[in-house]
Amino acid sequence: MAIGIVVLLVVIAVGGGYYYYSTTQAPTPSGPSVIKIGMTMPLSGSLASDGVMSLDGLKMWAMNVNASGGIYVSSLNHKLPVQLTYYDDTSTASVVATDYQQLVTQGVNFLIAPYSSGLTLAAAPIAETNHLLLMSHGGASDSIWSKGYKYVVEVLSPGSKYAVPVLQMLENQNSSTPLKVAFFFGNDAFSISVRQGAAAFINATSGKFSVVYNQLYDESATSYTAQLSQVAAANPDVVIGGAHFADGETIMKNIQSLGLHFSMVSLLVAPDDPHFLSDLGSLANNVVAPSQWESNLDFSHFTPYYGNISSAQFLSQFKSTFNMPPNYEAAEAYNTGLVLEKAISDSGSLNSTVVRNQLSSENIWTFYGNFQIGPTGIQAGHTMVVMQWQNGVKQTIWPRPVATAPFVYPMP
């Protein structure tokens, strides 16, 4: 059940408030007056932290687009502002299914997926049945693109790529003996894809790693002490795992309460969120995470570059607008808007099928990195980095050419 709806038609911010766009220019163009984009987001429930960040990223994109007059649609020969319509799906797949059906009846031009793989999988069949483009900014499970969908397009790197840069970084530590690794991932579609990608990488490295523990956990659990005790009994050098924000924080609290120590702990999603530091304090230090984007990355020298915003500008505007730094989920949501904007502009159409076909031929750079998709709609161009909290500061530590600090290893 949807618990709310807000329509955002933002062009001008004056005195802290948003106002509907209006113009005195005449004559009034024929055809639609706005580009309607619909979505749900987990604004409450277990995924709320990243859902709110994702929505804020999209709001900021809409604000910037509309402040420039909108997106030029050549088939209409004029610009149109964008209108975001969204519901709180409460982190629940059944609510997603109901609300995306409602968005279809409301006549949206395009759909943006909710945050997370599980919720994206709930929205995808509805988009496919109704031939509406569904842009995925926070659903990374490889399984999404194994179902033959034609209208689902991924902006972020797929789950199977997440752990690869972390393992590449460890591989370069010049260990004389195989590194003992514990896999401790959530039992959800996204985390399972990450684990499969990590296992494939290790299998290809011929003896550099030894997996001594390999189990999934229930993401909804309130404590993981029993399984973490089993992890410790396997005596790994490093722990690689996680799923989303809430469970990631719980894992770190449990590691502390049990008095465990590992040379490295790498978790999915949670450490990249600024709340991870504010919630955990010094416990966050030295925790590692694969990241889709960090604010020090600069892709502006790549061509073709699109979006008229750099990483530094995105960081600055987000902080001034929402009073906190963005995580990579906010950046990938903003980038989703940019990619959709580019495809609408290049195709000159508001037809989902036409814009989806246009996305197949796009190969562009934005502040977020490269966008280029494979035949199924899976992301093929974007690459990831690794971040680590060091003395309360988020540092990019891999790959070395873009690192802002050396990798602290082993953890003190």
Query: Which residue is associated with the tokens 């277990």?
Result: 46
pLDDT at 29: 62
pLDDT tens digits for range 290-313: 999 999 999 999 999 999 899 999
Return the percentage of the chain with pLDDT > 90, whole number: 90
Indicate if the pLDDT at residue 17 is higher than 80: no
3-state secondary structure of 392: coil
Which of 74-88, 137-151, 164-178, 283-297 is predicted with the least confidence, judged by mean pLDDT? 164-178
Indicate if the pLDDT at residue 3 is higher than 80: no
pLDDT at 174: 73
Residue 264 burial class via C-beta count within 10 angstroms: exposed 0-12, middle 13-18, buried 19 and up: buried
Which of 70-84, 172-186, 341-355, 366-380 is predicted with the least confidence, judged by mean pLDDT? 172-186
Residue 4 burial class via C-beta count within 10 angstroms: exposed 0-12, middle 13-18, buried 19 and up: exposed
Identify the sign of the CA torsion 49, 329, 189, 90: positive
What is the C-alpha to C-alpha distance for residues 218 and 331, in angstroms, rounded to an integer?
28
Indicate if the pLDDT at residue 377 is higher than 50: yes
Q: For residue 157, give the amino acid letter.
A: S
Confidence of residue 180 (pLDDT cuts 50, 70, 90): very high
Specify the DSSP class assigned to residue 16. Answer: T
Is this structure's pTM higher than 0.85? yes
How many CA within 13 A on the CB side of residue 342? Answer: 24
What is the C-alpha to C-alpha distance for residues 396 and 403, in angstroms, rounded to an integer?
5
For the stretch 27-33, contacts whose Cβ atoms lie closer than 8 Å and that sit 24 or more positions apart, written own/partner, are: 29/76, 29/77, 29/78, 30/76, 31/76, 32/76, 32/80, 32/109, 32/350, 33/80
Per-residue pLDDT, averaged over 218-223, amounts to: 96
Indicate if the pLDDT at residue 22 is higher than 80: no
Which of 7-21, 173-187, 297-311 is predicted with the least confidence, judged by mean pLDDT? 7-21
The first and second tokens of residue 52, run together, are 């709110």
User: Of 288, 385, 373, which Cα lies nearest the Cα of 331?
Assistant: 385
Which of 3-7, 58-62, 227-231 is predicted with the least confidence, judged by mean pLDDT? 3-7
Indicate if the pLDDT at residue 159 is higher than 50: yes
More confident residue, 8 or 12: 8
pLDDT at 177: 87
Indicate if the pLDDT at residue 396 is higher than 80: yes
pLDDT at 196: 98
Residue 45 burial class via C-beta count within 10 angstroms: exposed 0-12, middle 13-18, buried 19 and up: middle
Indicate if the pLDDT at residue 91 is higher than 90: yes
Confidence of residue 28 (pLDDT cuts 50, 70, 90): low
